[in-house]
Structure 1
């Protein structure tokens, strides 16, 4: 604080130097995922792979272009909680998973198939008030409560999953990948940050290539969403279509400006939507950098973009 005019003081601006931190358009995985426009998802459910157990329901989905298989697991947890896990069915190596989040594993409730028809699978539980409607093509999951759709997953077709792959130098040329190789010029790889990414003097080398994931959530019947701290912003989360996304990343920023979406210190990946008769939430469990785009239209649509660290 410095002395000002007689009888008053002015506060010196000690806000963070933003040049030390990336803007959204400087984050390679965000640029790559923004190339995917809302529309029909390229993922399709393989219903012949569905298996049920006392713990969860499993099935595979396939990308219609690259033919990579992903394993989907759905759990119901006590307290009207549903967990969705998606991972590669046969990865080159296991991805990092956050340990020690819970004191003990939560109690799950068995899901069963209550209805099945061409391209549709409906999962129910002991609490028949809640159902999960899984659509095969394109892949989509709807959470329904007493016949009302509360939340949709991948309804905008923004499921994005970069599978692990060997470096281009280690791949054997084949007729199938010649066209892909021609599009993987050094300049394009650097622009998209596929195998390495530079910011200032720091060079991030990605030994297993790009590994970001993303998906969209639509929260139906809500006007406002809250949460995903810490940011020096309003409690009500704002539409990000005309600006930067909300960034979840552990940053040690002690000086900051108000009404800014940049992360301050820690991050809590929990987003809440509330109305008089219902509260819904999305908990995005991962330890690495996450960007959240929010679009509020007739329904509150929340697109979550996430980057697993190498």
Structure 2
């Protein structure tokens, strides 16, 4: 480390623990810069184009009449179970409430479904420990208590659950009686006249219940309508946060006059700003915060999900005015959650403080393992470095220009014709020697490995997957074929344990020529299918366990990175901490990978939105977050490139990355003055690495993210609640 860098670091660390927050404020972004809309919206559904969303959104308050049989509840030390009936049709359900440390879990399912309904696996930590709760029975309600301060009151007619923290009502489940659970049924005879549906909500049977088309693709929907929905409201506050990933405000906005927030992992490039359309990740989690109490809600469902958010009648602006002015009017925040399939499985994290909610969420879903020090340094990437000479030249120039960095990355062109776990030996004839050259300086190589597999005879991975039955199937039991970077491709079924075991075995150094200094980038794992509906896999494809893709879609990327994580552990015989970067993410992905905000654009708007996007991800568990420096698409000018470096240096994950058709943008290509300023801010990043490393240690132990909204540190200061262009690094900086 140079003398100037050492002095800069000493100065910064001297600032780091002053009593007041040192605000990271980008004054140049104080004016809104909105980029042109470039995403092709016609490829992606709206709620009105989604049969189940349209049906569920039409439900009126007071519509459902589910009744809980309070006279015959089954009680154990950590759980109560009730029978529930809907008088309109008489269909029977089961309601369970389970206790964890400071957490209530509310599960609702059919008593005897025609087919099993999917319950999410792998998102939560294994072998979760429940806790005991006290039960007080009444004629019209039961009261369940965890510890001294967390209380759930279950009402029978109609079904409602009120949740209290320290005596304050903080959340209500089905308070507006909009719970709607489409039970499984036999498909009606095509010759029958249309009639009212036997689903207890008296819907007219629609053709979209049994088959649905969009964008030239038809979803066969063999199990018919099976969507679920419920309202969850927050009496103390409209300050709601979470539901990543979206390029939108940090505080959730009212969706009354727009589409609901959509959670459905999709490959969307040059995405729109200030929009709740689906992106690469889906974490169905909300934190409701007020000075009186904080509560978190996790809607554990991996199917396509839409969430309506309600704030004051005046919308977000009036909400903020009332908040800062201390107005008590229109205080309640409202949400309604709608999923295409599965069951209702909802967790209430009872706080009472924001840090308590963060800790409770981490104890159930896991936290980010402490990264290796190099992984929180600066990363250099583009699609693509052309060959060995190009890569080694870039590496040497970082030394020449005295700019610290820790890893260089290779995108898909390093492979032999987009065949993963291979090298193009014309461009990279000596991969192990090349990696050793880099690692001799203490640096790492990161290579991309996507889940689509080229369908080419003789390619070992395709041959193995075909012969060993490792691919996702279509509804007729044939191997599914889609189109991605290699052309015709099939997709590994990571839900199958033998597939995960096979994938993990491929990281052995005798199978993939590399070294222990090679780490992994898992991209395109929504999964992306260029010719599929909404650029993804059809919902009626079949996975291990006889589950449709519609049931597990948002989990696919998690299963991919989980398999990679295990492979990296096996490769080093559990000696080295894995590093993985993922694009797709769901609840629990933080246990395996860092994340970036996807295919952004070289403009000021996308720079600005990186802050609320990473704040939202950070409070939802995905704490190792960043955005492509300079923007993935198009060419940043020198000022934008500098400002992006200055922003990224103070975000958890720092990587320069660009599209193959952009100009080269290594930091020494923008003139001496810009290079000098980039060098300075990168050195500041490195001067603070011990602080970052300590924060990631705290994150692993407590769940507290390194990048924090102001209200997380100052929970009683209502002025901080709407702020999304300032944040804290830890509690000191």
Separation (CA, whole Å) in 2 of partners of 1:101 and 1:271: 16
1:3 equivalent in structure 2: none
Say if 2:100 is the partner of 1:77. yes
> Once the two structures are superposed, what CA deviation does each residue of 1:227-277 show, in whole Å capped at 9, x if it has no partner?
101111011110011111100000011211111110121111111111234
1:179-194 aligned within 5 A: 180=196, 189-190=206-207, 193-194=208-209
Gaps in structure 1 of 5+ consecutive residues? 1-10
2:227–2:340: 8 Å Cα contact kept in structure 1?
yes
2:287 equivalent in structure 1: 272
2:118 corresponds, among 96, 104, 122, to: 96
2:183 equivalent in structure 1: 163
Residues 259/107 of structure 1: CA separation in 2 closer, same or farther (3 Å cut): same
Residues 14/141 of structure 1: CA separation in 2 closer, same or farther (3 Å cut): closer
Separation (CA, whole Å) in 1 of partners of 2:55 and 2:36: 35
1:38 equivalent in structure 2: 61
Separation (CA, whole Å) in 2 of partners of 1:266 and 1:48: 43
Separation (CA, whole Å) in 2 of partners of 1:211 and 1:195: 10
Say if 2:141 is the partner of 1:106. no
Say if 2:91 is the partner of 1:68. yes
Runs of 4+ in 1 over 6 A off after TM superposition: none
Separation (CA, whole Å) in 2 of partners of 1:139 and 1:96: 23
Separation (CA, whole Å) in 2 of partners of 1:277 and 1:142: 17
Separation (CA, whole Å) in 1 of partners of 2:190 and 2:153: 42
Separation (CA, whole Å) in 2 of partners of 1:162 and 1:72: 15
Separation (CA, whole Å) in 1 of partners of 2:125 and 2:168: 34
Separation (CA, whole Å) in 2 of partners of 1:195 and 1:212: 12
SS in 2 for 1:61: strand
Separation (CA, whole Å) in 1 of partners of 2:206 and 2:257: 27
1:251–1:263: 8 Å Cα contact kept in structure 2?
yes
Separation (CA, whole Å) in 2 of partners of 1:105 and 1:72: 22
1:57–1:111: 8 Å Cα contact kept in structure 2?
no
1:76–1:109: 8 Å Cα contact kept in structure 2?
yes
1:304 corresponds, among 328, 334, 337, to: 337
Residues 256/130 of structure 1: CA separation in 2 closer, same or farther (3 Å cut): same
CA RMSD of aligned residues (A): 2.4
Residues 207/128 of structure 1: CA separation in 2 closer, same or farther (3 Å cut): same
1:144 equivalent in structure 2: 164
Residues 208/261 of structure 1: CA separation in 2 closer, same or farther (3 Å cut): same
2:143 equivalent in structure 1: 122
Separation (CA, whole Å) in 1 of partners of 2:289 and 2:180: 27
Say if 2:288 is the partner of 1:248. no
2:140–2:156: 8 Å Cα contact kept in structure 1?
yes
Separation (CA, whole Å) in 2 of partners of 1:221 and 1:168: 46
Could you tell me the TM-score, scaled by structure 1's length?
Answer: 0.86
1:21 equivalent in structure 2: 44
Separation (CA, whole Å) in 2 of partners of 1:181 and 1:271: 33
2:197–2:205: 8 Å Cα contact kept in structure 1?
no
> Once the two structures are superposed, what CA deviation does each residue of 1:200-249 show, in whole Å capped at 9, x if it has no partner?
21111121210000000011211310110111101111001111110000
Separation (CA, whole Å) in 1 of partners of 2:165 and 2:113: 35
Could you tell me the TM-score, scaled by structure 2's length?
Answer: 0.38
Deviation at 1:41, TM superposition (A): 3.3
Deviation at 1:12, TM superposition (A): 9.0
Deviation at 1:14, TM superposition (A): 6.7
Residues 167/107 of structure 1: CA separation in 2 closer, same or farther (3 Å cut): same
Residue correspondences, number: 287
Separation (CA, whole Å) in 1 of partners of 2:221 and 2:63: 30
2:73 corresponds, among 42, 45, 50, to: 50
1:41–1:154: 8 Å Cα contact kept in structure 2?
no
Using the TM superposition, name which of 215-224 and 35-44 deviates more. 35-44
1:7 equivalent in structure 2: none
> Once the two structures are superposed, what CA deviation does each residue of 1:28-75 show, in whole Å capped at 9, x if it has no partner?
001111221012631010123310113311111111101111111111
1:6 equivalent in structure 2: none
1:234–1:259: 8 Å Cα contact kept in structure 2?
yes
Separation (CA, whole Å) in 2 of partners of 1:273 and 1:149: 12
Separation (CA, whole Å) in 1 of partners of 2:144 and 2:37: 54
Residues 28/256 of structure 1: CA separation in 2 closer, same or farther (3 Å cut): same
SS in 1 for 2:157: coil
Gaps in structure 2 of 5+ consecutive residues? 1-33, 199-203, 313-329, 342-549, 552-733
Q: Which has the larger radius of gyration?
A: 2
Separation (CA, whole Å) in 2 of partners of 1:103 and 1:180: 42
Residues 233/178 of structure 1: CA separation in 2 closer, same or farther (3 Å cut): closer
